[in-house]
Amino acid sequence: MLSNLLSRPDAGPVACRAARAEEIHDALRVILSHDSRPADDAQVTDFVSFASTRRIDVREAWVAEAGGRIVWAVLPILSPGRTVLLFTPPVIGREPAAGQLIESACGHFAGRGVHLAQALLDPPDQAARAMYLNHNFRQMAELMYLSAAVRRPPPPTPLPAEFDLVSYSPETHPLFARAIAESYRDSLDCPDMNGLRDIEDVIAGHKASGEFDPEFWFVLLELGEPRGVLLLSRVPRTDAAEMVYIGLAPSARSRGHSDLLMRQALWAVGAMRLARLTLAVDSRNAPALKLYFRHGMQRTGSKIAFLRDLRRET
């Protein structure tokens, strides 16, 4: 019932646990709440439909209960790359219960072999930021979300003779792994993430982002050596493709190859018969932002990314 949701914790103890099957709907009403008001049934139904297309298991929801009432909730979204994203409602007024639930959920997933816990917060949400910092999360970056309309882009510029673009396959997998690892060297895009994940976990996480199609994953080769990588995926139930990752090895930077990969990305979106390209980028990465704006990308929003390493807790 509405009166049993989002009540402020009383002086009694808070119990933190996985939501029971019959509590999932109410837990989602709390997780999707806004301005201290639980989401309505239609919003929950829409979210469940969306979650199904994105392979999000709503049965993973956790709740903080006090006095028989749900006072806070979290939806952990597991990634094949041994990462969990914590999708949470506003924190203000429920800090103690929220903190207890975050600790319980992190401990549970650490025990399941998950390595990293992440959270994405609205920049003005100072209460949530303080709560996560108080529970061993650290701020990694402000992620800017960009988007561009794609209308019949021209074919990509022919490659120089010594270069080639190769799509993903089990045979080219090692080239992609090397290209991604090399692109992390001295990268300005979320540099604090470098070295925290095994490259195979990175690739597994990228494959799980949207609808993976190996035809639209590209590795840039120079004389057979990997120099850059471009990973695109379809965003389910939309007219958009996401640029999951783009990166160049240090030896390939400042040589015009980033523009080459961007033109390839825009052409590929057209080849997918989609209308938009979206991406997220570290707001501190000035060269990448110049590249994206040069190719018509526009800002649509931002989130603050927080991270906690769970391997220290097992």
Looking at the domain assignment, is residue 6 inside a domain? yes
Q: What length is written for the chain?
A: 314
Looking at the domain assignment, is residue 308 inside a domain? no
Residues of the chain by 3-state class (helix, strand, coil), percent to 5 = 35, 30, 35
Same domain, 42 and 91: yes
Q: Identify the pLDDT of residue 3.
A: 42
Same domain, 130 and 220: no
Same domain, 156 and 124: no
Same domain, 120 and 163: no
Q: Identify the pLDDT of residue 13.
A: 86
What amino acid is encoded at 164 in this protein? D
Same domain, 95 and 153: no
Asked which of 136, 156, 184 is the last residue of a domain, the reply is 136
Number of other CB atoms surrounding residue 60 within 10 Å: 19
- Average pLDDT across each block of 10 residues of the chain; the chain has 314 residues. List them in order: 51 86 95 87 93 90 92 93 93 86 96 95 92 94 96 79 94 97 87 82 92 96 95 94 96 91 94 95 95 96 96 74
Specify the number of domains making up the chain: 2
Q: Which domain holds residue 36?
A: 2-136
**CATH number of the structural domain spanning residue 132:** 3.40.630.30
Q: Identify the pLDDT of residue 192.
A: 77
Q: Identify the pLDDT of residue 196.
A: 78
In whole angstroms, how far apart are CA 127 and each of 61, 215, 258?
A: 22, 43, 38
Looking at the domain assignment, is residue 309 inside a domain? no
Q: Identify the pLDDT of residue 239.
A: 94
Same domain, 75 and 160: no
Looking at the domain assignment, is residue 248 inside a domain? yes
What pTM was estimated for this model as a whole? 0.89
Q: Identify the pLDDT of residue 1.
A: 39
Same domain, 153 and 120: no
Nearest to 53 by CA among 289, 197, 215, 211: 211
Instruction: Kindly give, in sequence order, each residue whose CB lies less than 8 Å from that of residue 174, ignoring residues fewer than 6 positions away.
Output: none
